[in-house]
Amino acid sequence: MTLLLISLVLVVLLLLGTPIAVTMGITGMVYFLLTAGFDYFSMVVTRIFKGMDSFVFICVPLYIMAGDLMNATGLTARLVRWAKSVVGKLPGSLAQAQLVATAVFGGISGSALGDIAALGTIFIPNLEKEGYGKSFACALTAASAVVDPIIPPSIIIVIYAAVMNTSIGAMYAAAIIPGFLLIAGDMVIVHYLAKKRHYPRRTEPISMRELASGTRDATLALIMPLIILGGIFLGVFTPTEAAAVAVGYALFVGLVIYRHMHWREIPRILFNAAYNSGTLFFVIACASILGWAFAMMQVPQQVLALFQPLKSYPWLVLLIMNIFLLWMGMWLDVTANILLFAPILAPLAYAIGIDPVHFSMIFVMNVNLGNITPPVGILLFATQAVGKVQMEPMVKELIPFLLIKIAITFLITYVPFISLWLPRLLGFGTGGPSFG
């Protein structure tokens, strides 16, 4: 009965438009007030601190800072020119170039909003100018940006790993193939629509000189993900240290090599990293209160008992999980979904034989799609603000991209090899084969 009442409080606050962090904090406090009066209130502060007291969270402001620094160096424009030279002959060449640039940009910042701010402002007006239409241009920007939080280095992977005590290196390795599958799926959709709608494509051949020039200009951007991931996978530094290396590398490129960035820009970048990190940590702090309440109500144990009769049918349990996470992704922020539901659903997944790293990919892939689904999809609103477009036509253009991403998510769910092959190849310990 208490769980039902607490769930009702949570839903009502969300329907009233209360910010998600405040909603979770108030809901958790209501539980303690109902069950123990004010006795637990003195412990809430300690619980809030404990929720944020994780060494790996240092990655978050550092990766945000690294992405802003790389954008300030002018590497974004160089990256765009390189992408055009690589896929310039494909149907819908400019749209394909945006997808290629997004894949690399995701390996630098891991920030979907950063992608929209950096690449959306470049590609949306140019796509519209070449006849793609503003609604399609904005839909493509949102659809491609949602891949950034999956391709490492990824902030949401850091959060999941901290909450569930999963190896960040293993999750980074597991996310590489799914991330590029998402980009490949978008490229297939663009190829089909470009042929159907007769979008422009480059007719003159791409010379080796042009390709070499574009690659040379973008080399420093292209090798940054290799430095970060290579250092982690080879054991040179930890994921947290890798974030600091990324910041140092970005500063060196901007101030010493290109000299495109000025010292006066650094306070703004530091403020942006602090502001965005503070917003995220406030959500984590409030979610820790509600998570503590769920633990005291033994919600994970109740979920395990509820699904006990279905343990012999892991495919069905996974189907139910996928549908639930896709649905919750439409209503809650990615961070909130991780903090609230990962501790509840992970024990169930492990009980039916799902590898922890495999389940981590299933989870983050599903809830991440909520970034481009109404009514809460933050990337839709960010793209709408950048592109100055109506929401309805943009969402209509987005549907094919969303459908193929859902299909890829289900593929990753039921084919564990996709997300487990690379971590095992690199020697990361996993919890055993899924479905085994």
Residue 431 inside a domain? The answer is no
Does residue 432 carry a pLDDT above 60? no
Name the amino acid, one letter, at 350.
Answer: Y
Residue 337 within any structural domain of the chain: yes
Highest mean pLDDT: which range of 36-40, 70-74, 302-306: 302-306
In a domain, residue 433? The reply is no
3 state SS of 92: coil
Q: Is the pLDDT of residue 227 over 60?
A: yes
- The stretch 404-423 carries a mean pLDDT of 94
Q: Kindly report, residue by residue over 147-159, the tens digit of the pLDDT.
A: 888 988 888 898 8
Residue 32 has a pLDDT of 82
Percentage above 70 pLDDT, the chain: 94
Looking at residue 31, what is its pLDDT?
Answer: 83
Chain mean pLDDT for the chain: 83
Between helices 59-72 and 93-109, what is the axis angle to 10°?
140
Q: Provide the domain limits for residue 226.
A: 2-425
Q: How many domains does the chain have?
A: 1
pLDDT of 13 > 90? The answer is: no
The answer to whether the beta carbons of residues 148 and 114 sit under 8 Å apart is yes
pLDDT at 264 over 90: no
Rounded to whole angstroms, the Cα distance separating 424 from 436 reads 16
Residue 174's pLDDT is 94
Looking up tokens 């477009």 gives 389
In a domain, 215, yes or no: yes
Higher pLDDT: 319 or 284? It is 319
Statement: residue 310 has pLDDT above 80: yes
Indicate whether 432 belongs to any domain.
no
- Mean pLDDT (whole number) for 372-391: 81
pLDDT digits (tens, 9 = 90+) for 167-180: 888 999 999 999 99
Residue 232 belongs to some domain of the structure: yes
Of residues 128 and 263, more confidence is placed in: 128
Please say if the pLDDT value at position 435 is more than 60. Answer: no
Q: Is the pLDDT of residue 431 over 70?
A: no
pLDDT of residue 433: 54
Band (pLDDT 50/70/90 cuts) for residue 429 is low
Residue-level pLDDT at 420 = 93
| Cβ within 8 Å of residue 136, ≥6 positions away | 95, 127, 193, 397
Domain assignment present for 197: yes
430 domain residue, yes or no: no
Contacts of 221 (CB under 8 A, 6+ apart): 70, 75, 78, 79, 82, 104, 108
